Amino acid sequence: MTRLETTVAMLDEMIAFPTVSSDSNRDLISWMAERVESAGARVRVIESEDGTKANLFASFGPEGDGGIVLSGHTDVVPAEETGWATDPFTQKEADGLLYGRGTCDMKGFLACVMASLPDLAASDRPIHIAATYDEEVGCIGGRQLVEVLRTEGLRPRLALIGEPTSMRVIEGHKGCCEYSTSFHGLEGHGSQPDLGVSAVEYAARFINRLLELRGELRDRAPAGSPFDPPWTTLQVGRIEGGVAHNVIAGLARVDWELRPVTDDDHVCAVRAARDYCNDVLLPAMRAVHPGAEIVTETIGEVRGLELVDDNEAAALIASLTGVNEADVVSFGTEAGLFQSLGCDAVVCGPGDIAQAHKANEYVEIAQLDACLDLLAAIARHPG
């Protein structure tokens, strides 16, 4: 079979693993590990803390620092949308398109990597393959993998994250940080509100402070920021609390998120929200009820890919694809994690993000072919 035919066949097998983030990815990781090891790679399977999931990290070529890591996530979002014309976990080909959950986001890229193993194994430079878990719910596996590499002192020079960009070269994206702040007050009869601590009312005050922060972040927009909008955004996604009209609410929760342009914006906003809770709201709540609490849970913190003046990874991929310029996107990836490790990172992969996370997800076969050409060029590049 040709490399493209092999890719389509590999993707067919990979789609059949229903690796929704809420479920295990271990079967797919084992399937990948067996094939990568057979191609001559040094293979490590890094388990999650509870052992139900795992990352794959495999290396060809010389040991030690340097080279390039080809990274993709194995998990997919649930296929519960109405409108699927076929079984989401059975690949279907029609009119040059491959349909199925994960074909675009992002098993298409991983299938290209698997089909390119002979080329990658023959390269003279270090080439690493990373396949992570739980990217869709906070880059949990990617964070674990990067910390393992950091602890062990292994630092690839470049990182290519193959998220669906229609093979455009992406050199920057915002972060995505999600939090849930819970307010634990004191229930009571609605006729005597001063004797209770309404968690809903304090949650409302917190939301007002978040909206003030939104304006402050807008004023911090970096000059010349290419993002749309150019500043760090903050929004409240959900509030819930209380049990009835005539009962003082004992519990409330606010779900909110940041899309930071810079790490500094992220740190400043989180600190401001925390200080308002600890220094203003909590003392007022405890003046009535000493057992009152405010707890913020971090749901996920995905680092942004910050723009740098000299991004070697972006320059390399642009030169190999013939693209004249790099771009930025609004969606998040694991690229910022590798950047934090000291790698130059870039995002480029087959498929259109507009097709992800929806019914009848698909990837164009022509996009897979273009990705294969890029991987072959990476394998040949002297590095």
Active-site residue numbers? Answer: 75, 135
Can you tell me the distance from the alpha carbon of 128 to that of 319, in angstroms, rounded to the nearest whole number? 20
CA distance 141 to 101: 20
Distances (CA, A) of 213 to 100, 234, 269, 336: 41, 8, 7, 24
* Rounded Cα gap, residues 36 and 43, in angstroms: 7
* Cα gap 61→69, rounded to integer Å: 12
Could you tell me which of 106, 108, 118 has the C-alpha nearest to residue 142? 106
CA-to-CA separations, 265 to 44, 178, 309, 327, in angstroms, rounded:
36, 14, 20, 21
- Please, are residues 329 and 353 in contact by the beta-carbon 8 Å criterion? yes
By DSSP bridging, strand 233-241 and strand 251-259 are: antiparallel
DSSP state of 56: E
Alpha-carbon torsion (221, 224, 229, 232), positive or negative: negative
Residue closest to 292 by CA, chosen among 193, 196, 204: 196
What three-state secondary structure class fits 198? coil
C-alpha span between 303 and 48 (Å, rounded): 20
Cβ atoms of 188 and 194 within 8 Å: the answer is: no
For residue 327, what are its two tokens?
Answer: 């771009």
